[in-house]
């Protein structure tokens, strides 16, 4: 018998496993960026450096 599965990654009030693009996380990113910019011998890269979630299929389309 066919079935449908619905999955939700995040809803308000839950702990997310990636940064949700909201005001709280934007403020946090600015604070982290200031700290990171002070580190002159470290190179940050990728989605963790930008504190953003990227859908990888969308990212590949841009390459």
Residue 17 lies in a domain: no
Residue 40: which domain range? 23-62
Look at residue 62 in the predicted model and tell me its pLDDT: 59
Look at residue 40 in the predicted model and tell me its pLDDT: 92
Q: How many CA atoms lie within 13 A of 9 on its CB side?
A: 7
Residue 6 lies in a domain: no
Confidence (pTM): 0.52
Residue 13 phi, psi (nearest 5): 100, -20
Residue 46 lies in a domain: yes
Separation of first and last alpha carbons in the chain? 41
The model's pLDDT over 6-50, given as tens digits with 9 standing for 90+, comes to 767 667 777 766 667 788 888 988 998 899 899 999 887 776 677
Look at residue 34 in the predicted model and tell me its pLDDT: 94
* pLDDT (average), residues 49-53: 71
Q: Does residue 61 carry a pLDDT above 90?
A: no
Residue 7 lies in a domain: no
């Amino acid at each position: 018998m066919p079935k449908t599965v619905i999955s939700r990654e995040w809803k308000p009030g839950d702990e997310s496993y990636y940064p949700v693009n909201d005001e709280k996380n934007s403020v946090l990113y600015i604070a982290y960026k200031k700290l990171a910019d002070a580190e002159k011998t470290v190179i940050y890269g990728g989605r963790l450096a930008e504190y953003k979630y990227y859908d990888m299929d969308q990212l590949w389309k841009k390459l």
